[in-house]
Amino acid sequence: MKILVIIPAYNEEANILNTVKSVLKYNKKYKTNYDIIVINDGSKDQTGQICKNNQIPVIDLIQNLGIGGAVQTGYKYAKNHNYDIAIQFDGDGQHDVTYIKDIIQPIIDNKADMTVGSRFIKKTSNNFYSTTMRRLGINVISFVIKLVTHKKIYDTTSGFRACNKEVINIFANDYPIEYPEPISTVDLLKQNYSVEEVPVLMKERVAGKSSITPFKSAYYMINVILAIIIRGSK
C-alpha cells in the first residue's frame, strides 16, 4: 500500500526539519515506508532551501496560495503518483507523529473514507486543547456542521487527517481553497462519504508564531459558518 505524508509549510524554517525527521523516525520504528512531500507554500524564509539541502522531497509553490491551495497541490501529487492513502500533517510541529497509525487504521480497515485527528473526542489530561475562545469557536462550527450534515464532528479545524484513494481523487479535482478543513469535511459528508474522528493529542507550537488574532477569529467564524451553510445546501 502506497502511503504519502503531505506536509504543508509556510515560513516554517524553524520546525520543518524536525517535523520531517519525526516522520522518518516513525518509518524506522514501525518499519513502514511512508513517502513524504513537503509543500512549501511560497515561504519567504529558508523552508524550501532546508528541504533541498536535506534531500527532502519538496514542491515549491511559485506563489503563496494559502493552506487550502497548498494542501490541494499535495493531493494532486498523491493522485499523479497513484497513492492509496494520503495523510495531512502540519509542518509547524503541532501534530504528533505517533498518532499516524491510529489515523490511517480506519482507512486501511475500510471503515472510513477520511479520518480527522481530533483533540476533543476523548479527554486526556495534560495536553494542548487551545484557548477557551478558540474552543468556543470550534464548538459553534461543529454545531453548524451537525445542522447541515447531521453528523457531529468535534474537531472541525484539525489539519491532521488521512484519506483513501477515492477521496484523494476528489480533493485533487475540487478542494475548498477557503476554510479548507471544515468545508472539505462538509463536502465529503454531503457526498455520502464517511468521515470518522480519531482521538489525538496535539502539541503547542514549538517555534514560530501563530497568526490568529481575536478580530481575525470573529471574521473567520462568520465566513466559515456562511461557507458551511452555502456548501451544505448545494
Nearer to another protein (CB atom), residue 77 or residue 120? 77
Using CB under 8 A, which residues numbered 100 to 139 contact another protein? none
Minimal distance in Å, beta carbon 56 to another protein? 12
Among the listed residues 10, 34, 77, 179, the single contact to another protein using CB under 8 A: 77
What does the block give as the cell for 151? 453528523
Residue 62 binding another protein, by CB under 8 A? yes
Which listed range, 7-15, 52-60, 123-131, 183-191, lies at the site for another protein (CB under 8 A)? 52-60
Q: Is 201 left (phi over 0), alpha (psi -120 to 50) or beta?
A: beta
Number of residues engaging another protein in binding (CB under 8 A): 15
> 201-218 burial string, b = 16+ CB within 10 Å, else e?
bbeeeeebeeeeeeeeee
Nearer to another protein (CB atom), residue 89 or residue 175? 175
Among the listed residues 6, 9, 20, 61, the single contact to another protein using CB under 8 A: 61
Among the listed residues 43, 72, 156, 157, the single contact to another protein using CB under 8 A: 72
Residue 59 binding another protein, by CB under 8 A? yes
Minimal distance in Å, beta carbon 10 to another protein? 14
Q: Rounded to whole angstroms, how far apart are CA atoms 58 and 6?
A: 10
Among the listed residues 55, 80, 125, 132, the single contact to another protein using CB under 8 A: 80
Sign of the dihedral through C-alpha 121, 124, 128, 131: positive
Nearer to another protein (CB atom), residue 62 or residue 125? 62
Minimal distance in Å, beta carbon 58 to another protein? 7
- Site track 169-198 with another protein (rule: CB under 8 A), x = hit: --------x---------------------
Which residues of this protein are in contact with another protein, per CB under 8 A? 57-63, 65, 69, 72-73, 76-77, 80, 177
